């Protein structure tokens, strides 16, 4: 697994992708995200790198990707249900979900002020966020940050929208074995899952290519505008 670190600022900004190895658009998103972050000619990212350190895991599940799995790692575990013990089994562990074990250990060591977990959805023809509304620490501060982030993302990319998506979790009913909710609860930070379509967006379809690697990469670059918008309100103290 790769952990790519970019920048030197005090804020800790994490992006992880492809927990489900069949969701290849997530890693293309990360390529666009990282390519923009290392562009020395982009004044916005130069500023971002002064204000934050970006921790990027472009492929959380390399063994599953190599084996051609859709949703599981080499051990048969769905990594996006391995972020804490739920009662049925202990998680994460080195035996069942070493990928999550090591990434969560690094997050705990370093800290997290923001996290986005990038996925693809087989059914919904939209790009959308699944937030952390159901975690115990959800409140006015996190709601404000998530709303501002989503608004800024819509402004940065017409391919992103907030009208359609999953049903929101009810208060204190989030599944904390899911990465974005677990991270939001443990670190009391803005944390969300980004879903992209497998086929295309219904709002602006491209009949020739559908939702392509190139469009995923553009969306990865655009999300930095939304991160920039909320940065002044992300705290650094722990």
What is the C-alpha to C-alpha distance for residues 126 and 105, in angstroms, rounded to an integer? 32
Residue 121: predicted pLDDT: 97
Do 159 and 219 meet the contact criterion of CB atoms below 8 Å apart? yes
Sheet containing strand 190-197, edge to edge, reads 4-7, 52-57, 11-17, 114-121, 190-197, 128-130
In 3D space, the residue among 20, 196, 185 whose CA is nearest the CA of residue 100 turns out to be 20
Residue 238: predicted pLDDT: 47
Q: Which of 23, 163, 195, 237 is catalytic?
A: 195
Catalytic site includes residue 195: yes
Per-residue pLDDT of the chain (238 residues), as tens digits, is 999 999 999 999 999 999 999 999 999 999 999 999 999 999 999 999 999 999 999 999 999 999 999 999 999 999 999 999 988 899 999 999 999 999 999 999 999 999 999 999 999 999 999 999 999 999 999 999 999 999 999 999 999 999 999 999 999 999 999 999 999 999 999 999 999 999 999 999 999 999 999 999 999 999 999 999 999 999 855 4
Tell me the torsion sign for CA atoms 49, 10, 93, 83.
Answer: negative
In 3D space, the residue among 123, 133, 126, 113 whose CA is nearest the CA of residue 154 turns out to be 126
Do 121 and 20 meet the contact criterion of CB atoms below 8 Å apart? no
- Rounded to 10°, the helix 25-37/213-230 angle is 50
Tokens of 117: 């977990």
Do 54 and 15 meet the contact criterion of CB atoms below 8 Å apart? yes
* Strands (E) located in the chain: 4-7, 11-17, 52-57, 114-121, 128-130, 190-197
Tokens of 208: 């020739």
């Amino acid at each position: 697994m790769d952990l790519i670190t970019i920048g030197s600022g005090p804020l800790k900004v994490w992006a992880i992708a492809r927990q489900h190895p069949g969701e290849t658009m997530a890693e293309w998103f990360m390529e666009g995200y990282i390519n923009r972050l290392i562009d020395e000619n982009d004044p916005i990212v130069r500023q971002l790198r002064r204000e934050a350190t970006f921790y990027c895991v472009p492929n959380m599940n390399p063994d599953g990707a190599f084996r051609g799995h859709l949703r599981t790692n080499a051990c048969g575990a769905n990594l996006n249900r391995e972020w804490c013990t739920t009662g049925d089994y202990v998680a994460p562990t080195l035996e069942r979900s070493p990928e999550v074990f090591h990434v969560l250990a690094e997050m705990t060591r370093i800290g997290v002020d923001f996290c986005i977990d990038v996925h693809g959805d087989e059914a919904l023809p939209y790009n959308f966020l699944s937030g952390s509304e159901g975690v115990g620490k959800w409140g006015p501060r996190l709601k404000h940050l998530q709303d501002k982030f989503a608004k800024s993302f819509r402004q940065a990319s017409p391919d992103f929208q907030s009208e359609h998506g999953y049903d929101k979790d009810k208060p204190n009913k989030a599944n904390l074995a899911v990465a974005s909710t677990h991270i939001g609860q443990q670190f009391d930070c803005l944390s969300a899952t980004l879903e992209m379509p497998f086929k295309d967006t219904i709002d602006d379809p491209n009949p020739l290519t559908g939702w392509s690697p190139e469009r995923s990469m553009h969306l990865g670059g655009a999300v930095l505008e939304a991160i920039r918008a909320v940065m002044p309100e992300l705290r650094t103290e722990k």
